[in-house]
Amino acid sequence: MVTIKFNSLIILAISATLLLRISTATAQLSTNHYSTSCPRALFTIKAAVLKAVAKERRMAASLLRLHFHDCFVNGCDASVLLDDTSSFTGEKTAGPNNNSLRGFDLIDSIKSDLESLCPGIVSCADILAVAARDSVAAVGGPFWAVPLGRRDSTTASLDAANTDIPSPVMDLPDLISAFSNKGFSAKDMVALSGAHTIGQARCTVFRDRVYNETNIDTSFARTRQTNCPRNSGSGDNNLAPLDLKSPTFFDNSYYKNLVNKKGLLHSDQVLYNGGSTDSLIESYSKNPEAFNDDFVAAMIKMGDISPLTGSNGEVRKNCRRVN
């Protein structure tokens, strides 16, 4: 084995180059990126999202989750949308995604509309970011200006999808570490976790919590057990709302649930279990405005994870495959 040692000056130079590359990419995102090149882009995305959410409220959570699962794997580059081919393996079959992520057909439909309006202009990565924002707003959550100008990747990473996306069975230290690896503080993590105020989870990911954990309201556990049999393999895909109180409305009830030991996932309840994030959970449970503000800040920060800009990547014609 050959050991290569870098002196501190070289390391500093490399670090400075990486920081410059990241800051330059982030600076290239702009909220008015399509104002001239495709002025009806945002309206087109919003109209499609509103129509889909009106038809099925759950779609709001699905689109928000798509954006999250995209950004946590090598940045917000629409890699999550790529289908497998005979020579290429995408991220859709990764553990956190397989038979779980939804909304791909809606993204295809939006992309098709945008290609008719302004061919080759609006990236799939930007569609995901805007659709996530519009989904939150459509079910009562905050609205924010989304920085735009991302381009789409020509690659994907099944391995990173399996390792980088936080697991619903993680304990607090592991969650903090997983988010820290992407540049998030514990506060950012708690705010982003508030996305679980909408959406549903499968029995297979909360079975152990409702049968075996003690930091759970007993009545709540019994309620969830009725649709989630104890034995693995039975009812694995049965769904339960992540937020017991208002499952299709974006509010701060998620945090109230945690205070009352009614978090559905293990990774939810560990945020309020005598640890360092307890005070923030209590604050958000009492102050929905503070939650909304911090959620928006964290979402914008998430959308800035390693974007492809300039001549990097491409603007896909079809979100499922490279050009």
- Tell me the per-residue pLDDT of 230-271, one tens digit each, with 9 for 90 and over: 988 889 999 999 999 999 999 999 999 999 999 999 999 999
Residues 155 and 185 in one domain: no
Q: Which residue has the tokens 């945008």?
A: 114
pLDDT of the residue at 233: 81
| Cβ pair 80, 311 in contact under 8 A | no
Alpha helices in the chain (DSSP H): 8-27, 41-55, 58-71, 104-117, 124-138, 158-164, 172-180, 186-193, 203-212, 218-225, 253-259, 266-269, 278-286, 288-303
Residues 185 and 132 in one domain: no
The amino acid present at 265, given as its one-letter code, is: L
Number of domains into which the chain is organized: 2
Residues 179 and 158 in one domain: no
Residue 199 in any domain: the answer is yes
- Enclosing domain of residue 96: 41-165
Q: For residues 285 and 43, what is the distance between their CA atoms, to the nearest angstrom?
A: 33
Which pLDDT tens digit goes with each residue over 100-113? Answer: 999 999 999 999 99
Residues 192 and 262 in one domain: yes
Give the CATH number for residue 297.
Answer: 1.10.420.10
Residues 104 and 177 in one domain: no
Last residue of a domain, one of 117, 150, 165: 165
Greatest Cα pair distance in the chain = 62
Residue 320 in any domain: the answer is no
Binding region? 70, 73, 75, 77, 79, 91, 166, 196-197, 243, 251
Q: Is the pLDDT of residue 6 over 70?
A: no
pLDDT of the residue at 248: 95
Last residue of a domain, one of 109, 132, 165: 165
Residues 196 and 295 in one domain: yes
Binding region for substrate? 166
Give the CATH number for residue 123.
Answer: 1.10.520.10
Positions marked catalytic: 69
Which pLDDT tens digit goes with each residue over 157-197? Answer: 999 999 999 999 999 999 999 999 999 999 999 999 999 99
Residues 132 and 217 in one domain: no
Residue 207 in any domain: the answer is yes
Task: Tell me what the mean pLDDT of segment 7-29 comes to.
Answer: 45
Binding region for heme b? 196
C-alpha 119, offset from chain centre:
27
Residue 266 in any domain: the answer is yes
Residue 309 in any domain: the answer is no
Binding region for Ca(2+)? 70, 73, 75, 77, 79, 91, 197, 243, 251
**What are the beta bridge partners of residue 148?**
30
Last residue of a domain, one of 165, 188, 208: 165
Residues 199 and 146 in one domain: no
Q: What pTM value is reported for the model?
A: 0.90
Residues 214 and 113 in one domain: no
Residues 178 and 247 in one domain: yes
Q: Chain-wide mean pLDDT for the chain?
A: 92
